[in-house]
Chain A
Amino acid sequence: MSDRQVLSRDVRSARLSAAEYEENFSDLHAPLDWHEAKVEAERCYFCYDAPCMTACPTSIDIPLFIRQIATDNPVGSAKTIFNQNIMGGMCARVCPTETLCEEVCVREEAEGKPVKIGQLQRYATDHFMDEKRPHPFTRKPETGKKIAIVGAGPAGMSCAHHLAREGHDVVVFDARNKPGGLNEFGIASYKSTDNFAQREIDFLLEIGGIEIKNGQMLGRDVELDQLAADYDAVFLGLGLKNTNRLNLEGEDAPGCEDAIDYIAALRQAEDKSTLNVGRNVVVIGGGMTAIDIAIQTKLLGAENVTICYRRGQSAMNASLYEQELAQTHGVDIKHWRQPKAIQLNGDGEVCGLEVETTALADGILSGTGETQIIPADQVFKAIGQKFDSSALSGGQIDLEGGRIKVNDQRQTSNAKIWAGGDCIVGGEDLTVVAVEDGKIAAQHINSVLQG
């Protein structure tokens, strides 16, 4: 009797009041005020050969920038950060600090309470940007060299900034209608409020010498071999365009969506009340994207949000902190469940997900045969993304495991082409790693071009 009621679809926009949307999509953590920042900064021990600095993929001099906050010099602090990481503002918001700098903070060892490095970094960089200080770097004399960058995400823009600093001219091609890449289209809304991704791009462009061409897709509007011919060097920060498929019947039915597409739409929606969200939402996956879509659908007013992950808690790619963040937002994380069938209603729309319990036996994961149907007005796939190599026409670049192969300098098998970010082998899906890739590539490009 009740099956039919449970399985009736309920997907709606405007589930909440305007005030609730406002509250739900404001900053995840309120920024530290001056006194809080000073007190927190004073907790730093200014360690010798600080473990936090080693743990930072961009090697920011953390003890120094924190000491600069403690000594009333937030501008100098921001410069210390930007010197290693021009996107220090975004990294302060999105870095999983709990598995990077803060995990190895000696205060974590001492008392289980690391210095809030991420929030202090945000304090300094926000201070600098909010005060609209002059750009912290000056461009060297123009070299006359031109570099093409494909992809205006963190890797591409970091590379662009470093090259521009060295006096080179940079043209950035990006398929989307605005720059930023995942910072603009992928990061959870509550981590990047107030149009921060675009403000950061504007800040970065103040260096000069960078031209961004939007709506330019590699393989459609521009060709790699042509770029390699027209420019002195090329950097590819392409990201991962394709998503993995479940390969289940009903996967293309209304209500079954790629999480990244929904997140991109959500990021671009000025009015969150226009977004359709189900009463019951099921997310498939165990990484950051799964957490982000789960929390954000909950914030949009979904009543029941369930993450189904086919392995155990410790295997989840999302950090423990992120998992707990989802749980405190009321998301139910079910481990050891794999999708078995998508349930459709009479109109051919998603109304549930049948999942099968899994178990590990001798290291091999398999279904136990025990199944369960979870009511779902929407099913979001967050099961990973793939590099789309089709745009690399000409095949001058070696791939490995479906991604671009690079050396330590982020140079590809084509000596004129470098690459970084998620599209390269070993890419870690982290903004901060992409920023570092772009920086390393730029340093090498510069040394090659300066000959």
Chain B
Amino acid sequence: MQYQATAGVHTYQFKDLKEVLAKATPARSGDYLAGVAAETYAERMAARLCLADIPLKHILDTPIIPYESDEVTRLIVDSHDAQAFAAISHLTVGDFRDWLLLDSTDTATLTRVAPGVTPEMAAAVSKLMRNQDLILVAKKCQITTAFRNTIGLAGRLSVRLQPNHPTDDARGIAASMLDGLLYGSGDAVIGINPATDSIPALMDLYHLVDDVISQYAIPTQSCVLTHVTNQIQVMEKGAPVDLVFQSIAGSEKANQSFGINLGILKEAYEAALSLKRGTVGHNVMYFETGQGSALSANANFGVDQQTIETRAYAVARHFKPLLSNTVVGFIGPEYLYDGKQIIRAGLEDHFCGKLLGLPLGCDVCYTNHAEADQDDMDTLMTLLATAGITFIMGIPGADDIMLNYQTTSFHDALYLRKVLGLKPAPEFEQWLMQMNIMDAQGRVQPVTGQHAMLQNMPRHLLVAA
């Protein structure tokens, strides 16, 4: 196939599909760093014009990383559902955008088609979509998962409570957990990023969260975000593991840099399933991804960072996760420079994930060397919640004192629920009402010193200093 298009007086030639995809991508620093971005505004538009005319069937038949050398490509090709694809197999990328926006393309249709959409198709169409298109189509997708509560129902917004502490101090973690629960956060998961890699210390963290969940009978799940091989070890030692976590990326080589492959993920998935700890469902995996991770591992193969990010979602959906989120502004300004780039990337990742059938959440975040601030986060979280984001992060005051970045807070989640009329997962909502933390209208209730959770604190907080 010839890849070319005319913009103004100039006809632009592109040597292959991945070059068209890269040059059609809205400008971002990571693609310049990789040397794959369009050189002019006109070249970017020419790439989009070219992309709009490429048939989805051609994208399916043209792997951008070779089948023989990459297990993520093999997973994408081998798991493709031709029957689901039939409904859209006649479309070009441009037609696909139009089709997605039709009123007749409803939730049920999108659910049926999802297994026929490949990451490259999702990434391709997203490059032709404006932010409002990304919001509108994502909003029509509904992906429901369950473990001890039900995540992703219409009109709901869940929150991962992230009670990190720089030295994994049990009292510090318990104090942040209590703070988050009293602000109505924690229905997606209570998930700790540990500072340590030591197995005995990790075992203590699992018991810490499990004790709090049991003590207050909270319909939620826990996770300790250490390397998947550590999680396999603690499961063997009998730790109370609800969800298994791993960072994943969109090429075999990038996953190798994380010390994983599909085989290791499968082993962990089966081990977690065998524990049968879910009560209302059995989605036992939790994944994080982020634009820039493949390039930072020198494993991007000339593919733009948004397309290769979307390939990570094929890895995620294979393991039927309860949760998967992009960590959109975390890696730094060399990948997403400023608020504008972070906001666009967040909306793209959410749209692509939802189109592929993933329960996608977002760590709406930035670092202090990026040109961004909390106002940009307000904008992105509001847009994502409008688009039906499955979950966001909840950190005390939006300041993660262990990972040194800023994300969203318990207060932010309350703002979104209030402005957009969103509620927590239904089982968790019931619990919040029983505990007098939230009323039936979703308003947080005044908490006095006599509140049951303060009168009867987690034992980890009562241990003498």
Q: Do A and B come from one complex?
A: no
